[in-house]
Structure 1
Amino acid sequence: MKAAAILISLVLVAGCRLETREEAARHAASGQSVDIEGMAAEALRALPTAIAEKATLFDPQGKGDTVRAVRLTGTALAVTGGERARSMTIDTDGDGSADAILQLGPVVRGTALRDALGTRTFNDFDSQIDYARYARLINDQAVGQVRDAAKAIAPGASVAVIGAYVPGGDGPPVVTPVTIQPAP
């Protein structure tokens, strides 16, 4: 049993790269660290078009663990949450119940936009922290732009959304939007 635990630990640690504080400081000072802000800015310029090109019709019953870029239209049911994590529930099939939840931030969970974009991989970054920071910058900017448009949409209004989500899980899927607008 102990041997199995050690073997599992070794397998988990094998993919990690550990760096001392001195090495990290030298690495940062050498200018070899990646430009996360620049990468995020580049991604944001391409994001709406890239996600729209990859988007498929939203299926609230979709299963799997792979991120999907989607288009959905429906009726805004409610906007909930405080100043930290606002969301909008959307009814896509006309039955009066929530089929999707749009994250309106400013706190946005997950990495659906980064992963749906697919232009960068973990190997493009110095660490997992940098890769997560890249996703956070994309989320912050994209959802920040959408949040302003969402303020003009009242419950009962028709909306058209393009975004990304990971299907599965309990409850309505949580979609991170890149565009939201009133639907005709």
Structure 2
Amino acid sequence: MTIAQDQPPGWSAPARRGPITLGRVSLIVLVLVIIAILTSTTYRPDTAPRAGEQAKFDPAKYGAQTYEPKVVPAIQEKAVDIVTLQKAIAADPDAAGQKYGARDGTGPYSFAVSLTGTAGKPESGLLEVKVPELDDDTRVSVQIGPAINGTALRDAVGFVKFGQFTNQVEYADAGTALNNQVKAKVLASLDPDALEGKKVTVVGAMTPLTADVLTVTPISIEAAS
């Protein structure tokens, strides 16, 4: 005989929960793992280098860190008088390059050079300088901007090598960065028109293709007072 117990109106017995199955346990574990991953993940912007990766090459930073501390002293130390260089290049370009120049690979030789002569009229980004000891057929020009062409500064020092960079683009950017330093450190305060007719002394670098056309990228231009 079952004795019925009085219950309040609307009351119903609670639903019986089934046993915790292996599937439910796996689902709970999966959720906990996902939560742990999300809470431990650190945002890293695309520009940040991954572990083991090199930082992105910064040409401006390279130029600032390399030009005055390294390139300028090297050019000053290695500079050869332009008359000596011109005669050596005219006689035997390869021998002149091996003795006085530097190059990376099989490209043309670049040279650190010094010269003294009379400045001509600035024209098309070049300041022609008449060096008395050179023949009239030999044209000597100094780059005065706004564009500075070539990679003579990069190549003449001898310690900047392609293998130090990730690719050809970075290698080229390094040369451009050094040229930009010339524009900022040497040419920004220069008045080329004021040099016409004056005796000037120039130190710099050049990558001549012939002995008769010598175009110098300067690290210094000084006019006689």
- Is TM > 0.5 for Structure 1 vs Structure 2? yes
- What's the CA shift for 1:134? 0.8
- CA 1:96–1:61: 2 relative to 1, 3 Å: closer
Contact 1:88/1:103, CA 8 A, preserved across alignment: yes
Deviation string 1:105-162 (CA, Å, 9 cap, x unpaired) is 1211111001112332111111100110110010011134322235364311000000
- Determine the C-alpha separation between the residues in 1 that align with 2:135 and 2:210: 21
Determine if the alignment matches structure 1 residue 173 to structure 2 residue 194. no
Partner of 1:87: 126
- CA 1:182–1:176: 2 relative to 1, 3 Å: same
Larger radius of gyration between Structure 1 and Structure 2: 2
Contact 2:195/2:223, CA 8 A, preserved across alignment: no
Amino acid at match of 1:99: R
- CA 1:169–1:94: 2 relative to 1, 3 Å: closer
Determine if the alignment matches structure 1 residue 45 to structure 2 residue 68. yes
Partner of 1:20: none
- Determine the C-alpha separation between the residues in 1 that align with 2:134 and 2:80: 22
- Determine the C-alpha separation between the residues in 2 that align with 1:99 and 1:93: 11
Task: Report which structure shows greater RCO (CA 8 Å, sep ≥6).
Answer: 1
Partner of 1:76: 119
- CA 1:95–1:137: 2 relative to 1, 3 Å: closer
Partner of 2:204: 163
Q: What is the aligned residue count?
A: 155
TM-score by length of 1: 0.73
Deviation string 1:24-77 (CA, Å, 9 cap, x unpaired) is xx8985351344433221211222222111101113344233111011000001
Contact 1:143/1:178, CA 8 A, preserved across alignment: no
Farther off after superposition, 101-110 or 29-38: 29-38
Contact 1:62/1:168, CA 8 A, preserved across alignment: no
Farther off after superposition, 170-179 or 102-111: 170-179
Amino acid at match of 1:106: P
Of 43, 54, 57, the residue aligned with 2:78 is 54
Contact 2:152/2:206, CA 8 A, preserved across alignment: yes
- Which structure shows the bigger proportion of residues in strand conformation? 1
Q: Secondary structure at the match of 2:72?
A: helix
Contact 2:204/2:219, CA 8 A, preserved across alignment: yes
Contact 1:62/1:167, CA 8 A, preserved across alignment: no
| Paired residues for 1:30-41 under 5 Å | 30=50, 32=54, 33-41=56-64
TM-score by length of 2: 0.60
- Determine the C-alpha separation between the residues in 2 that align with 1:125 and 1:177: 25
Q: CA RMSD in A?
A: 2.6
Determine if the alignment matches structure 1 residue 105 to structure 2 residue 105. no
